[in-house]
Structure 1
Amino acid sequence: MVYLDETFRREGDHNEHGFYSVCGVVLQGQHIFTMQDDLREIVGGNYWHATEALRDGRTDVFLDMLEHMRSHPTMNIIVATTNVDGSDEQAMEKARHQVLSELLIDLTNADKSFRGAILEKREQSRKDNSDRALVKKLQNSKLLSPAMAFKLISPQIDRNLW
């Protein structure tokens, strides 16, 4: 299973070029629930948001989480990144779909045991539907297995999205 998270900067933010990145943390099935419990223990609760925590000076907890992940025996991390041409929503969605496609296709080609992807739900259902349509298109094109599960979930439900 791959847990996906994205980060981006719009073109023009801080007078810099735009980019879109998606990071995938791959966990074998038998470690999914253990990792959720471990993360809850490390942060001392049921809520975590890295940006908020770093802004609030909780760097030590963030580093503890990274160390735990680094020491995990079966975890892999993969990243796909692209430049964003433009700052409008259409340019951001195009970049998002490009990096999601690259990451999922590369993972599918690299590991035949790859069975599913989990990505954080977005605030607008039309954007979630756009992600679902992208995965369906990749499956119909035989670039992804039709059996690959793709779920959009809140990090409050699945702490592995932290």
Structure 2
Amino acid sequence: MAPVSPAKQQVIDAYARTTGPVAFLDESYQAPDGTDPGRSTFYIFTAVLVELKNLDELRSGLLDVAGSTYWHTRDALRTDDGREQTRGLLAYLAEGLEPCVVAHRVKVDPDDHDAEESRKACYQALAVDLASGRVGVWDPVDLLVLEERNQRNFKNKDQANHKELVSGQRVARNTRLLQTSPAHERLLWLPDLVASAFRRTITHADRTLYQLIEGQVHFVNEA
């Protein structure tokens, strides 16, 4: 058996400390463009909630459908085969009815050039909703797994946004944010799929992909 990397072990250890569903998070956005003031803007943060007992089954299923250990929906949507695989992965997600939660900021402030303020607002609204639970839909979440960003300063911002929620008592003290890569947790493909499907309803007026999961999508009240 190959040794487990420290990053992968961090994920395993995080699961060992949680009892409720795990929320996997990703985003998609269109920031203001100074050269194109008429450009539409938005920010989307998505979460897919998976029960601990279903983690292994979902990982295996995603691998079977994708036929690869690598996936990025944006890249896949550029080809006919990739679009067909995307539909297959979303259909697979729909089979299990895992709750998908969306925080959507309809318009990014023109002064929010890098959309970081919109990111913070969407993340915090989403985290509060997830940690609170929603009766009959999902139990309170205490572990949020977010696809980490490449630059350290951005990772630090995400951690600071989460710590602000804890210090302000907007989420319970035991609510944790873990930033990791899809290379260490394939289930991060799920919010990427949901974010891309919802994004296309805005950018392409195309609901074809979104309709596959629409029945299990829930929206955060404010973002």
Whole-Å Cα distance in 2 between the matches of residues 51 and 71 of structure 1?
22
Whole-Å Cα distance in 1 between the matches of residues 172 and 52 of structure 2?
18
Question: Counterpart of 2:26?
Answer: 5
Asked which structure has the greater CA Rg, the reply is: 2
Secondary structure in 1 aligned to 2:173?
coil
Cα deviation for residue 14 of structure 1 reads 9.1
Whole-Å Cα distance in 2 between the matches of residues 113 and 33 of structure 1?
21
Matched pairs, number:
159
Whole-Å Cα distance in 2 between the matches of residues 156 and 55 of structure 1?
22
The structure where strand makes up a greater share of residues is 1
Question: Counterpart of 2:64?
Answer: 41
Secondary structure in 2 aligned to 1:84?
coil
Cα deviation for residue 16 of structure 1 reads 2.4
Question: Counterpart of 2:55?
Answer: 32
Question: Counterpart of 2:127?
Answer: 104
* 1:68 aligned to which of 92, 98, 101: 92
Whole-Å Cα distance in 2 between the matches of residues 64 and 27 of structure 1?
19
Contact persistence 2:132–2:140 (CA under 8 A): no
Whole-Å Cα distance in 1 between the matches of residues 95 and 125 of structure 2?
27
Question: Counterpart of 2:161?
Answer: 134
Contact persistence 2:144–2:176 (CA under 8 A): yes
AA of the residue aligned to 1:20: Y
TM (norm. structure 2) is 0.68
Cα deviation for residue 88 of structure 1 reads 1.7
Unpaired runs of at least 5, structure 1: none
Whole-Å Cα distance in 2 between the matches of residues 159 and 45 of structure 1?
11
In the TM superposition, structure 1's runs of 4+ consecutive aligned residues that sit over 4 Å from their partners are none
Question: Is residue 50 of structure 2 the alignment partner of residue 23 of structure 1?
Answer: no
Moved more, 46-55 or 113-122: 113-122
Task: Output one character per residue of 1:93-143: Cα deviation in whole Å (capped at 9) or x when no partner.
Answer: 100000000011012222553121011111101100111011111011111
Question: Counterpart of 1:59?
Answer: 83
Question: Is residue 113 of structure 2 the alignment partner of residue 88 of structure 1?
Answer: yes
Whole-Å Cα distance in 2 between the matches of residues 101 and 29 of structure 1?
23
AA of the residue aligned to 1:31: N
AA of the residue aligned to 1:141: G
TM (norm. structure 1) is 0.92
Cα deviation for residue 56 of structure 1 reads 2.4
Whole-Å Cα distance in 1 between the matches of residues 61 and 38 of structure 2?
39
Percentage of identical aligned residues: 25
